[in-house]
């Protein structure tokens, strides 16, 4: 997991997350009510993942028990974190999402460039090999 994904995962598990119910409980300026945009419930992690009408439910969650199991299962929690990031509901993770997409694209460019380079050519422009330079010679 990236640092942003790990942070979001911790926030999801503790419910200390940038959703209205938490922000309202902490008297964050500009948060006037704990309710979601549709007024169907307090905007919490459980509400976002299971009950929110503003977005589709993650495909592998049917009820609270599924959510509780998914939160502690490493494979499933990665899917939940990715879903929450992709949902766009937490604006503070928009930059991390964009940086992740850009680094993934850059990583594929680097791997393509590395496969195009000659293999075994460790020499620099002076003709010295990288291995002798690493030994400080």
Joined tokens for residue 105 = 């694209």
- Residues 77, 88 contacting (CB under 8 angstroms): no
Q: Judge whether 15 lies within some domain.
A: yes
Q: What angle do CA 106, 100, 46 make, to 5 degrees?
A: 160
Q: Judge whether 89 lies within some domain.
A: yes
Q: Judge whether 83 lies within some domain.
A: yes
Total structural domains within the chain: 1
Q: Judge whether 130 lies within some domain.
A: no
58 by Cβ neighbours in 10 Å (0-12 / 13-18 / 19+) ranks as buried
pLDDT per residue, tens digit, the chain (137 aa), is: 889 999 999 999 999 999 999 999 999 999 999 999 888 899 999 999 998 888 788 888 889 999 999 988 888 899 899 899 888 888 888 888 787 766 666 665 555 555 555 554 454 445 444 444 444 44
Q: Judge whether 110 lies within some domain.
A: no
Helical packing angle, 74-87 and 3-14, nearest 10°: 100
Record the pTM.
0.67
Q: Judge whether 109 lies within some domain.
A: no
Sign of the dihedral through C-alpha 75, 83, 14, 67: negative
Joined tokens for residue 109 = 């460019």
Residues linked to residue 42 through DSSP beta bridges, in sequence order: 35
Q: Judge whether 58 lies within some domain.
A: yes
Q: Judge whether 111 lies within some domain.
A: no
Query: Residue 72's domain spans which residues?
Result: 1-95
């Amino acid at each position: 997991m990236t640092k942003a994904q790990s942070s979001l995962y911790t926030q999801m598990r503790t419910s200390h997350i940038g959703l209205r119910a938490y922000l309202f409980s902490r008297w964050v300026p500009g948060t006037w009510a704990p309710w979601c945009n549709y007024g169907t419930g307090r905007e919490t992690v459980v509400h976002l993942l299971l009950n929110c009408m503003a977005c589709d439910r993650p495909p592998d969650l049917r009820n609270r028990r599924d959510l509780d199991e998914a939160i502690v299962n490493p494979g499933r929690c990665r899917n939940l974190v990715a879903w929450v990031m992709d949902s766009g509901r937490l604006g503070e993770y928009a930059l991390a999402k964009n940086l992740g997409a850009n680094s993934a694209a850059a990583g594929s460019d680097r791997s393509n460039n590395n496969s195009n380079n000659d293999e075994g050519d460790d020499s620099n422009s002076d003709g010295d090999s990288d291995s002798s330079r690493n030994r400080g010679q």
